[in-house]
Amino acid sequence: MTLQSGVKWSDGKPFSSADVAFTFNLLQKFPAANTGNVPTATSITTPDADTVVMNFAAPQSANFVGIANQMILPQHLWASVTNPVNAVIPAAQAIGTGPYLVDSFSTQDITYKVNPSYWGAKPKVPRISLPAYATNDAATLALASGDVDLTGNDIANVQSVFVAKDPAHNHLFQSSAPYYPAGNTVSLLLNNKSADAPALADAKVRQAISAGVDRASLASQCETDYEAPATSSGGVTLPTDSGALDPALTNDLQSGPDAAKVSSLLQADGYARTGGKWTKGGKTIKFTIIDPNSFGDYWCDAKAIAAGLDARASTSPPTAATPATPGAPRSPTATSTPPCTGVRARPPSSASSSSWTRAAPRRSASPPAATWSATAARRPPRRSPPTRTRPRPRRRRRRWTPCNS
């Protein structure tokens, strides 16, 4: 990686390749601090102040965005931090290299001012405010009324709700559907170390879940055709990163559910239908989908995935040679049992096991097992800090997070 030369931290100290190497080495030394799941490098070298060379044991094209998005720490401040996992950094040490600095912070609003040490051109906007909105609907109302200038949230009926209000000034990143350029791939990231859903540790089960997801339905019904169904499980953003895609993974995902593939995978893996449930050793495949219910489109996706997998699991499967038909089984089963024992979607903070919701997203560190939505996904960055609208948590790297993640 070649770094921008002449960059300084906002406290005036020089930024260099030493900071980059320090950061990635710290993540390897303290795995609990590696919240972005950056893969472990076999070596990290710094030939000069503007160059960093990272070597890996295996190809990491699918993880490049996760590597490149890693926030870099100032070595001159963090070298003395003994436990970075639980470190509390004073505001005076919250420095950066970007065009803005934090001016004020509260739970209701974050404001930024221009960084006088910024290496690039001086920003034309002197101040940015990011007020907090609890739901997509609240943010959309503020956008439509002109209270905010930019948002990154899902807006149903965006042409009439937003663009038509002021066609001369209200614009989208793309003029026709899908309106969101290829900025990320939406994924159902399965926790393969869950004690409550041990079946997820089985790669064949994860593949069967992927085969059972109706990507086309999610894209059209929950994402209102703003995103196209994913076509590859390769984990790279398409078509942007098509040059890094393994040809064997080109168009390896169907847009609709493949009941025959689900049955073939699970039967070969030793599963059999017992009472309409996929069972092995007396245990049924069960898991929970968790996600904040304020994200309306994801909430819809979570409910649709859970309902679709659960409702169709009890239907007799077609033979491997029979095309999937409406109402045929589409995935491993799930039952309406307490949280973490059935395919359910629920809010992490809710005590109601029947509440449907969705999971706080991040990019998977490895190719997702059940990528369902658009490689022509949300506006890049999908949920990045919008101007005067509260940023969502790293929405650029969205993922569905089942139990205990």
The confidence band for 313, taking pLDDT boundaries of 50, 70 and 90, is low
Q: Would you say residue 385 lies in a domain?
A: yes
Beta-sheet strands, E only, within 349-393:
370-371
Q: Would you say residue 178 lies in a domain?
A: no
Q: Would you say residue 173 lies in a domain?
A: no
Q: Which domain holds residue 62?
A: 17-91
pLDDT in tens, 37-77: 899 999 999 999 999 999 999 989 888 888 988 999 999 99
Position 321 pLDDT exceeds 60: no
Tell me what pLDDT residue 28 has.
Answer: 94
Max mean pLDDT range (199-203, 303-307, 340-344): 199-203
Same domain, 210 and 238: yes
The confidence band for 236, taking pLDDT boundaries of 50, 70 and 90, is confident
Same domain, 117 and 82: no
Max mean pLDDT range (20-24, 281-285, 320-324): 20-24
The confidence band for 212, taking pLDDT boundaries of 50, 70 and 90, is very high
Same domain, 86 and 107: no
Q: What is the CATH number of the domain that holds 139?
A: 3.40.190.10
pTM of the model: 0.63
Same domain, 119 and 64: no
pLDDT in tens, 178-188: 887 777 777 78
Q: What is the spatial distance between Cα 385 and Cα 149, in angstroms, rounded to a whole number?
A: 12
Same domain, 114 and 239: no
Same domain, 205 and 336: yes
The confidence band for 8, taking pLDDT boundaries of 50, 70 and 90, is very high
Same domain, 132 and 273: no
Tell me what pLDDT residue 19 has.
Answer: 98
Q: Would you say residue 176 lies in a domain?
A: no
Which of 42-46, 251-255, 398-402 bottoms out in mean pLDDT, i.e. has the lowest?
398-402
Tell me what pLDDT residue 51 has.
Answer: 98
- Domain final residue, candidates 37, 64, 91: 91
- Domain final residue, candidates 91, 112, 131: 91
Same domain, 252 and 395: yes
Q: Would you say residue 231 lies in a domain?
A: yes
Tell me what pLDDT residue 401 has.
Answer: 31
Q: Would you say residue 179 lies in a domain?
A: no
Tell me what pLDDT residue 263 has.
Answer: 92
Q: What is the CATH number of the domain that holds 330?
A: 3.10.105
For 261, phi then psi, to 5°, come to -70, -40
Which of 16-20, 103-107, 164-168, 333-337 bottoms out in mean pLDDT, i.e. has the lowest?
333-337
Same domain, 108 and 234: no
The whole-number average pLDDT for the span 96-123 is: 92
Q: What is the spatial distance between Cα 267 and Cα 287, in angstroms, rounded to a whole number?
A: 19
Q: Are 235 and 192 in contact (CB under 8 A)?
A: no
pLDDT in tens, 356-395: 222 333 333 333 333 333 322 333 333 333 333 333 333 3
Strands 187-188 and 399-402: parallel
Same domain, 84 and 122: no
- Domain final residue, candidates 49, 68, 91: 91
Same domain, 22 and 125: no
Q: Would you say residue 63 lies in a domain?
A: yes
Torsion, CA 144, CA 145, CA 146, CA 149, rounded to 10: -30
Torsion, CA 267, CA 271, CA 275, CA 281, rounded to 10: 160
Q: What is the spatial distance between Cα 59 and Cα 93, in angstroms, rounded to a whole number?
A: 36
Same domain, 246 and 299: yes
Give DSSP secondary structure letters for 1-58: -BPPTT-B-TTSPBP-HHHHHHHHHHHHH-GGG-TT-PPPPSEEEEEETTEEEEE-SS
Q: Are 50 and 2 in contact (CB under 8 A)?
A: yes
Total domains, the chain: 3
Q: Would you say residue 177 lies in a domain?
A: no
Give the residue carrying structure tokens 């472990």: 40
All residues at 6 or more sequence positions from 333 whose CB lies less than 8 Å from its CB, including other chains: 276, 277, 278, 284, 285, 286, 309, 310, 313, 314, 343
